[in-house]
Chains A and B, each alone.
Chain A
């Protein structure tokens, strides 16, 4: 499954409000779900963060979990104008966040495959210094599509 096809432009927020790590995660989750469902997802995501930050370094974080609160794989992207502290592996602040939530029942393990793909793409974004490049959500999704294609070709 193509990653760009899992992104929708209303879930790509390029002017995400900077704030504390927990608040930023909260804002992104509420763009996917509301109420008790959102509360459950946030709790599970924060438990995952307690095990070690999902800030993979060089300005990007990929918070992720499975949750009973979603029916299908959901992805939200946020970019902050000002980098925020995410307790990242390299201690550097983060300005691009890919948030991914998967349902518990997941035929074909789409979740781990997609998560792995996002990690690869995130590394390309930092390598080519593309974090702030896209001006609109459409441009962002097109950029992801390009990177994904170049990675597939390389294989």
Chain B
């Protein structure tokens, strides 16, 4: 995955979490200002980002998002934080292209140390 694609994908993911949080009742009660059209604006923005992604990545993302609330899972000490399964060694050494968890299918994300 190129840096630009990776950045788009991560921002898309952050925006989807933002949309989900603004819909939480406990969030709404806090009294933050939210434009009436807020979620529509965000949904438009996230759809734009989705279209900028390579088609296959966009498709995988959307399928995963329907299946789980969060399509991307960080990797921590060789574990997928989506399903908490240990990842096979051959996967850990590979970091090019889009990689998904063999157990849950989520897109894996390695944090830079």
**A, B co-complexed:** yes
Q: With A104-B17, A104-B72 given, is the CB distance from A43 to B35 under 8 Å? A: no
Of the listed stretches B19-27, B57-65, B94-102, chain A binds: B19-27
Q: How many residues of B contact A (CB 8 A)?
A: 35
Nearest CB in chain B: distance from A42 CB, A: 11
Q: With A68-B10, A69-B10 given, is the CB distance from A48 to B26 under 8 Å? A: no
Q: Which residues of chain B are near A56, meaning CB under 8 Å?
A: 31-33
The answer, among B11, B31, B109, for a CB contact under 8 Å with A44, is B11
Cβ of B50 within 8 Å of any chain A Cβ, yes or no, is: no
CB contacts between A and B, total, < 8 Å: 87
Closest partner residue, chain B, to A40 (CB atom): B10
What 0/1 readout, one digit per residue, does chain A (103-124) give for beta carbons within 8 Å of chain B? 1110001011001100100000
The answer, among B26, B33, B45, B70, for a CB contact under 8 Å with A47, is B45
Cβ of B66 within 8 Å of any chain A Cβ, yes or no, is: no
Cβ of B87 within 8 Å of any chain A Cβ, yes or no, is: no
Question: Judging by beta carbons under 8 Å apart, are A44 and B3 in contact?
Answer: no
Q: Which residues of chain A are near B111, meaning CB under 8 Å?
A: 71
Rounded to whole angstroms, the CA-CA distance of A55 and B32 in the bound complex is 8
Q: Which residues of chain B are near A55, meaning CB under 8 Å?
A: 33
Q: Which residues of chain B are near A109, meaning CB under 8 Å?
A: 26
Q: With A51-B38, A68-B14, A104-B13 given, is the CB distance from A37 to B112 under 8 Å? A: yes
Cβ of A151 within 8 Å of any chain B Cβ, yes or no, is: no
Residues of B near any A CB (own CB < 8 A): 3, 7, 10-11, 13-15, 17-18, 21-22, 24, 26-27, 29-35, 38, 41-42, 45, 70, 72-74, 76, 81-82, 109, 111-112
Residues of A near any B CB (own CB < 8 A): 35-37, 39-40, 43-44, 47-48, 50-56, 62, 65-69, 71, 89, 103-105, 109, 111-112, 115-116, 119
